[in-house]
Copies of this chain bind each other. A is one copy, B any other.
Amino acid sequence: MIETKTLSLSEIEDISFRALTAVGTCESNARPLAVATAATEADGVASHGLAYIPIYCEHVTCGKVDGQATPVVSTPRPGVVTVDAATGFAHAAIDAGFDALIPMAKSQGIAALAIHNSYNCGVLGYHTHRLAKAGLLGLGFTNAPASIAPSGGATPVVGTNPFSIAAPGADGPAVLIDQSASTIAKSEVMKHAREGKPIPVGWALDADGNPTTDPNVGLKGSMAPSGGYKGVGVALLTEIMAAAMTGATLGIDASPFSGTAGGPPKTGQFFMAIDPGATSAGAFAQRMEALVGAVKAQDGAHLPGDGRGAARKRAAAEGVAVNVATLEKIEAIIG
């Protein structure tokens, strides 16, 4: 039984902010990450919420992230924003980029944001959600150290690289998809390794590309792509968008997102924001309602993002039960 304590969303934001600034993160970098941490706990994605705050703090301390970085925003074309995250937190870089991206997408009809010299952006769907709340269709891609092998090979070349799409609706995103290219999150395999439990066949492969049930063997091999070669295709799509199209570090060259070795990962994010009114001649909302309606009409059927949306509503009213052991770690950082 894990001991929990219920915190309000503002309490979660506050404790995150105080821990980040305690280790030397400046306020303009700490605030967006603290806000995102509260939103991630609200969405019920505890794996990427407060549990990451001690890791973020460790990475500021060891230099994997520059807590004092100032993102540099440029607009090289009428439809393109680029941000050099300057090895700081991705969240501040994305915030700075969105300030330019959102009005640009509304005037141009479509705009792109390419971020390099960046870091793990947490839950990708948190960011595309913000675009949907601004009335835009948001598409996002983020890359990670390589852990999936190409078809026919056994050595990782791409990360478990998620993509996300958030389609605007009357009350938040009508649909929010945020999915990685692997069968299962790498963190699940790491958890099984820590607990000494075998993993199911189909989660990971050994260094020769063969199935394994040993999580430690899998972690030295590669993560299994979801749906075989089609999962590799989704991972490649994301790597091309988030790394090649931004000039960020490829997954094969990036330092790990965990641990203190290797310096800044310098990975990338790519976002596109599109005004549905411009492309659909006003038909978008009706089509989304019909599509969502066709799913909801089926008993037991659900859409990606439904679970997070329901959790968000509960959290706003009732707060979130968080892990006491994690809280104690964070309080020790605040001192």
Nearest CB of chain B from residue A66's CB, rounded to whole Å: 20
Assess whether B234 is in contact with A234, with CB atoms less than 8 Å apart: yes
Could you name 20 residue pairs across A and B whose Cβ atoms are closer than 8 Å?
A76-B109, A77-B275, A79-B109, A79-B111, A110-B111, A114-B280, A149-B301, A150-B302, A155-B294, A158-B291, A165-B237, A177-B233, A226-B230, A227-B227, A240-B291, A245-B274, A247-B279, A250-B291, A250-B294, A270-B279
Assess whether B151 is in contact with A288, with CB atoms less than 8 Å apart: no
Contacts A150-B298, A152-B302 aside, 10 further interface pairs with beta carbons under 8 A come to A78-B79, A79-B111, A80-B275, A114-B279, A153-B301, A165-B240, A179-B233, A226-B231, A229-B304, A244-B284
* A282 in contact (CB, < 8 A): yes
How does the 8 Å CB contact mask read for A285-296 relative to B, with 1 for contact and 0 for none? 001101100110
Assess whether B280 is in contact with A230, with CB atoms less than 8 Å apart: no
A234–B298 CA distance with the chains assembled, in angstroms = 20
Determine the interface band of chain A, counting residues with CB < 8 A from chain B. Answer: 35 or more
* A73 in contact (CB, < 8 A): no
Query: Which residues of B sit under 8 angstroms from A283, Cβ to Cβ?
Result: 116, 244, 247
Interface residues of chain A, those whose CB is within 8 Å of chain B, are 76-80, 82, 107-112, 114, 116, 137, 149-155, 157-158, 163, 165, 167, 175, 177, 179, 183, 226-234, 236-237, 239-241, 243-247, 250, 252-253, 270, 272, 274-276, 278-284, 287-288, 290-291, 294-295, 298-304
Query: Which residues of B sit under 8 angstroms from A243, Cβ to Cβ?
Result: 287, 291
Complex: chain B residue closest to A177, CB-CB: B233
Query: Which residues of B sit under 8 angstroms from A275, Cβ to Cβ?
Result: 77, 80
A114–B276 CA distance with the chains assembled, in angstroms = 10
Known: A109-B77, A279-B270. A183 touches B247 (CB 8 A): no
> How many identical chains are in the complex?
2
Known: A167-B244, A237-B177, A274-B245. A250 touches B298 (CB 8 A): no
Known: A237-B177, A279-B80. A298 touches B152 (CB 8 A): yes
A237–B138 CA distance with the chains assembled, in angstroms = 11
Assess whether B76 is in contact with A239, with CB atoms less than 8 Å apart: no
A139–B27 CA distance with the chains assembled, in angstroms = 38
Assess whether A77 is in contact with B278, with CB atoms less than 8 Å apart: yes
Known: A110-B111, A150-B303, A272-B110. A291 touches B80 (CB 8 A): no
Assess whether B107 is in contact with A150, with CB atoms less than 8 Å apart: no
Assess whether A291 is in contact with B252, with CB atoms less than 8 Å apart: yes
A78–B298 CA distance with the chains assembled, in angstroms = 41
Assess whether B291 is in contact with A78, with CB atoms less than 8 Å apart: no
